[in-house]
Amino acid sequence: DPCRNFHCKRGKVCHVDKHGKPSCICQDPAACPSTKDYEHVCGTDNKTYDGTCQLFGTKCQLEGTKMGRQLHLDYLGSCKYIPHCTDYEVDQFPLRMRDWLKNILMQYYERELDTSGFLTEKQRNKVKKIYENDKRLMAGNHTVELLLHDFEKNYHMYVYPVHWQFHQLDQHPADRLLTHSELAPLRASLVPMEHCITRFFQECDGDRDKLIALKEWCYCFGIKE
């Protein structure tokens, strides 16, 4: 099968011509496999697609057009009303996000006390110091004042989780810069719950070059030089 090891980017599928030569052609959105309701996604055109196959197939068919350039995955789930993010809310956002990242690492660490897997040994050693600090806030909904107080008092506990998330996202390629598509997995899963995440990432890009450097990322989260 000439298509076996022939890789096509998202939205395209391998097609063999009459001479047996493989090439990539746009995925027909109508030919995408059927999906469950929870697999629906919302595009930046505010249209609900049955799944990512249908979204990226549609984007491919619009290649070369303004609509095609602007169409991206906005968030997971069917399109719904996303409230406007106020100045006050975007200022509070890093507090919750820092706390959330710290708690994710805590959960990974706790889970791996029984089984190893997700964290490398170097990561485990870093998280262990945070985990064993008995001053840490337990996971849950905390007031802005408490989050701010904890950040100022236990600043060192928040630095590593912020760095860790950046490097988790910085994969294609790993160049210490986050592109729109590298941010997408985090953004797309959080938009329905955290309506300020889009504005937050836009404002993180201080020099407006459509890339978030590690320095910009840390500055956004209140991490010092």
DSSP character string of 152-188: HHSTHHHHHHHHHHHHHH--TT-SSEE-HHHHHHHHH
Domain spans of the chain? 12-76, 87-221
Each residue's pLDDT tens digit, 155-203: 989 999 999 999 999 998 899 999 988 998 899 999 988 999 999 999 9
Each residue's pLDDT tens digit, 99-142: 999 999 988 888 876 666 788 888 888 888 888 875 567 777 88
For position 74, what pLDDT does the model report? 92
- Looking at the predicted structure, is the pLDDT value of residue 67 above 80? yes
Q: Does the domain formed by 87-221 have CATH 1.10.238.10? A: yes
- Looking at the predicted structure, is the pLDDT value of residue 2 above 70? yes
Report percent pLDDT > 90 for the chain: 68
Residue 22: exposed, middle, or buried by beta-carbon count in 10 A (0-12, 13-18, 19+)? middle
In one-letter notation, the amino acid at residue 198 is T
Look at the pTM and tell me if it is higher than 0.85: no
For position 83, what pLDDT does the model report? 92
Helix (H, G, I), strand (E, B) or coil at 206: coil
Fold entry, domain 12-76: Wheat Germ Agglutinin (Isolectin 2); domain 1 (3.30.60)
For position 112, what pLDDT does the model report? 74
More confident residue, 116 or 94: 94
Over the chain, what is the mean pLDDT? 91
CA distance 46 to 94: 26
**Nearest residue to 127 via CA among 114, 113, 148:** 113
For position 202, what pLDDT does the model report? 94
